[in-house]
A and B are shown apart, each in its own frame.
Chain A
Amino acid sequence: MDNTQVDNIQAKPAKADDAHPMDNLLRMDRMPHIWCTGCGIGIAVTAFVAALEKAKIDLNKVSIVSGIGCTGRVAGYVKLDSFHTTHGRPIAFATGIKLGNPDIKTVVFSGDGDLIAIGGNHFIHAARRNIDMLVVCVTNFIYAMTGGQVAPTTPLGAYATTCPYGCVEQPFNIPYLADSSGAVYVARWTVLDVRRLTNSFVEALNKRGFSVVEVISPCAQYYSRINRLGDGLDMMNFYHDHCEIRHGEDTKNLDIGFQSKIIVGKFVDRERPTYTESYNKWLARVDEGTKDS
């Protein structure tokens, strides 16, 4: 069903009691979404929308920026100022939005390939600068939208269409990368832990600085299928049996191997001046200087 041509869908008009509490934050005219059966991105979006309501921030001042990929479609379904940008660049766009209007809270919601492979450079620099933004990285260990290619998080030994004999590369440990680049808030949850994920989103939305929440999600149609891991529900069961919550764990120890234990929790929560704060402080000194000269 080609759901991008919304006009062709003959939907029943919604009655007042048909409305869902989250309808005002979702672009209901674009439903149904494109995500597959067994995909976890929808859960991540639900958690995020719930967090938006709990966080009590001015929603007119939140901009959501996504890149390209399955998770990159999130911006199109959330009813905020939404930007669906080019592959790998949502963090750079969000930096521009933030510096163009510092009152805007920027949220980047994209996938592991988009943010860490092609977008890796922007990820580490925005973290280093501590630009005030929340980065939600949905990690499904694969490039799903384009048919199942290897990602920078694909575990050693796993299969993908572009490593048909198994992946020989060591994957990135995203919380470690974020931590060592200077992020002030780093957490990881699977889509099974919806409430904890929602709480992390609330904390991160209220946090000033570069915050990263990694969301481990099943990809039932590509990653799980290619690697014979079952369907979405099987992956959720796997998370249930193999996740361990370890708040404050050293991010060095958060590597994910193929079908290995996944450590989740909140790992980093620290304070550091944001880019805008440092800039404004410095600007005051520049102004003083030019006045004196």
Chain B
Amino acid sequence: MKANPKDVLTGVHYIDGDVASGYGALAAGCRFIAGYPITPSTEAAETYGRIAPPAGAMFLQMEDELASIAAVIGASWAGVKAMTITSGPGYSLMMETVGYGAALETPFVLLDVQRTGPSTGVPTKTGQADMMQSRWGAHGDYEVIAIAPDSPQELFDYTIKAFNLAEKYRCPVMIMADECVGHMTEKVVIPPASEIELEPRRFYQGSPDQYLPFRPDLDLVPKMAKAGDGFRLFITGSIHDEKGRPVKNDEYKAIYTKRLVDKIRLNKDKIIELKEENTDHAEVIVVSYGISSRVSIKGIEQARSKGIRVGSLRLVTVWPFPDEKVSELAKKTKAFVVPEINYGQIAFEVARCSHGRANVVLVPHGGAGVHRPEDIAEAIEYAAREEKKIEQVIEYKTRLEKLVFQSRK
């Protein structure tokens, strides 16, 4: 189905990423956002709060993040597309309920505009250290989809895609933005509503007494119902059978858990989006996401000017992780360079999938800024030069670190 014209602010805008995400949410048909202010994500909530009421949608600032995510899941079960917006500390608060939403296969979108952590960190500066948390944040087994946009335009486009994926797979979809892409102001082109494709919720159409809320379709995703239609649903966080009744034995648990993770794992090729360039004969491949992928463009340019054949793999979708692609590339290249604004998260995934065939060089960054392109270029040079096969992730010593730690000698 197409977007509703009254939800779409068609035109050429010059806006920041947060605002673009707010516009994207409305365009995607989101009718409810509950959030709590937290730098650097607040503008997304404020934007939506401004554009939603005239379009018949609603924004409510809740008393805390816990209430926000709970209200979003409640609204989803009342039948509306819903989203919440937060950053690191709020993301941590929401985790229990994210798991609840995943267990109940509730479609919802969560925008995490990552900031420097840990703890309060530097609220106004960027970070990419919530990436592992987006997959493993809540206790127990479940799978989510996580997307790392690299620009305000992508924040608009991928907020819409996030809603589509959430409806298709009935799972939480994390938009793992960061303060840089959230606060950078760039051109965002919003097309007419007729060019925006939306995934509608797949409601069960049969009779209420035959409805099995958790009986999956062939793609492992069950059809959904909503409160108020006479289904007398029973929705519980306790492990449940197809009817939604809590069960305790391990046979049911196997069936249930396996489907919950399989519906993402087995549908990976339909979910994963990557941007691959010049990887065919590359000596070194830079694997990056989010703001680091933009800084990498400069770093790669500098390395190429030294004659090194550098390819790039940008992870638009970070979870599910593109195991097969990385494994395949590891056979063809000498080394991967993974710049990320953390001390190693996705780098470990790259290493896991390389199976020792290619070295993995992590270019870390503590946050409160982005990489210097020179650091990425120099790491690429080192990766191209290093002949030894090193199985552990190699932590490249950036100029910043050399500066800081040398001067202390």
A residues near B (Cβ < 8 Å) are: 2, 4-6, 27, 29-30, 60-61, 63, 65, 75-76, 79-86, 88-89, 92-101, 103-104, 121-122, 125, 279, 283, 286-287, 290
Report which of B228, B236, B246 forms a contact with A81, defined as CB distance below 8 A: B228
A61 near B67 with CB under 8 A, answer: no
A100 near B75 with CB under 8 A, answer: yes
B32 on interface, CB distance cutoff 8 Å:
yes
Residue of B nearest to A90 (CB): B70
Residues of A within 8 A of B63 (CB): 121-122, 125
B67 near A89 with CB under 8 A, answer: yes
B144 on interface, CB distance cutoff 8 Å:
no
B122 on interface, CB distance cutoff 8 Å:
no
Residues of B within 8 A of A93 (CB): 70-71, 73-74
20 pairs, A vs B, C-beta closer than 8 Å: A4-B245, A30-B245, A60-B230, A61-B228, A81-B235, A83-B74, A84-B236, A92-B62, A92-B70, A92-B71, A93-B71, A95-B71, A95-B74, A96-B32, A96-B34, A96-B76, A99-B78, A100-B75, A100-B76, A279-B58
Task: Supply 9 further A-B pairs (C-beta < 8 A) apart from A84-B237, A101-B80, A283-B53.
Answer: A2-B248, A81-B227, A81-B231, A93-B70, A95-B34, A96-B82, A100-B77, A122-B66, A125-B62
Residues of A within 8 A of B368 (CB): none
Q: Report the count of interface residues on B (CB-CB < 8 A).
A: 46
Residues of B within 8 A of A75 (CB): 234, 236
| A-B CB proximity, top 9 nearest | A96-B74, A100-B78, A100-B75, A96-B71, A92-B70, A84-B236, A93-B74, A92-B67, A96-B75
When chains A and B are docked, how far (Å) is the Cα of A29 from the Cα of B77? 24
Most buried by A among B60, B78, B235, B236: B78
Knowing A96-B34, A121-B63, the reply to whether A101 touches B228 (Cβ < 8 A) is yes
**Closest CB-CB distance, B191 to chain A, in whole Å?**
23
Residues of A within 8 A of B248 (CB): 2, 4-5
Q: Mark B58-92, 1 if CB is under 8 A from A, else 0.
A: 10101110111011111111111010000000000
B82 near A100 with CB under 8 A, answer: yes
Report which of B32, B53, B71, B97 forms a contact with A86, defined as CB distance below 8 A: B97
Residues of A within 8 A of B79 (CB): 100-101
A96 near B70 with CB under 8 A, answer: yes
When chains A and B are docked, how far (Å) is the Cα of A2 from the Cα of B77? 30
Knowing A82-B235, A84-B238, the reply to whether A100 touches B230 (Cβ < 8 A) is no
